[in-house]
Amino acid sequence: MGNFFPYAFEDKRYHTWNYHLKNKFGQKIFKVAIDGGFDCPNRDGTVAHGGCTFCSAAGSGDFAGNRADPIEVQFRQIKDRMHEKWSDGQYIAYFQAFTNTHAPVEVLREKYEAALKEEGVVGLSIATRPDCLPDDVVEYLAELNERTYLWVELGLQTVHQKTSDLINRAHDMQTYYEGIAKLRKYNINICTHIINGLPGEDYDMMMETAREVAQMDVQGIKIHLLHLLKGTPMVKQYDKGMLEFMSQEEYTNLVCDQLELIPPEMIVHRITGDGPIDLMVGPMWSVNKWEVLNEIDNELARRNSYQGKHFESVHHV
């Protein structure tokens, strides 16, 4: 089964983010979500208007701090909230909401450095888009990568251009590959985000997205379930019958199939998610996050399977 199974102290059948961080730092590491006050190029007219149709008013930073507060204040508030759950640990400052490289370098520097100065911060995770990586920004990220533990999280969502257009991503696959190449030139860790359950996508299409990510030079993956949230443009698509929610059983089987395809060393940052319950239109089963995670564990065990089980066969196709 190779060196990556089972994942030791967690006895997981996939390479979890928690496992990776504990191995690297020897203790619990929290991600502290911050809203850096940025916008998105497909909201402000740089490349498009309206934003991604699934994206909430908080720019997918629904659990981040208040953008009206300074970085330091947000960091401490969210950190203290997390310590109600876990007594000790260190931190990765997570610039989550909107597009966190969509600003001049001097603005980025001011925000990121404020987070890095906070006690116990061991690294940064920066969520952005592949079309927001100009050379001077990448050079600053390369500098950060030399002196802290850095991840850049790049939203892909799907490899299918038809879906990408439908959800208003406003970039193509070529742009995504160019973004990867710019970051990997400096050995910067990349986490690719994909979403299962997008409008019009069937099982084969979602598997194709996972298969493509498996071949990319990226070090991590976030597998999201589509959450339909009130107030998002996608509600109109749902009302027109363009979107059908996945069942929990369908999602469980799909994620297990996707995990089997991706390389065993790729770090799985998440395999589901939870939207704010007061904004959720569906699927409502997803609010029981631990039940979803447990079902995925149970299905992998039932199959006697694990991450990367079919990776080699995919790799040589």
Domains of the chain: 17-303 (3.20.20.70)
Q: Would you state the pLDDT for residue 54?
A: 85
What pLDDT sits at residue 32? Answer: 93
- Tell whether omega for the bond before 199 is within 30 degrees of 0, i.e. cis: no
What is the full per-residue pLDDT of the chain (317 aa) written as tens digits? 444 455 655 679 999 999 999 999 999 999 999 999 998 888 888 888 888 888 776 545 456 667 889 999 999 999 988 888 777 889 999 999 889 999 999 999 999 999 999 999 999 999 999 999 999 999 999 999 999 999 999 999 999 999 999 888 878 899 999 999 999 999 999 999 999 999 999 999 999 999 999 999 999 999 999 999 999 889 998 999 989 999 999 999 999 999 999 999 999 999 998 778 888 999 999 999 999 999 999 999 999 999 999 987 544 43
State pTM to two decimals. 0.93
Tell me, rounded to whole angstroms, the distance of Cα 176 from its chain centroid.
Answer: 15
**Closest by alpha carbon to 158, among 147, 166, 150, 146?**
166
d(CA 134, CA 36): 19
Pairing assessment for the beta strands 228-229 and 280-282 based on DSSP bridges = antiparallel
For residue 19, list its beta bridge partners.
Answer: none
- How far, rounded to the nearest angstrom, does the alpha carbon of residue 261 sit from its chain's CA centroid? 18
pLDDT for 68 equals 84
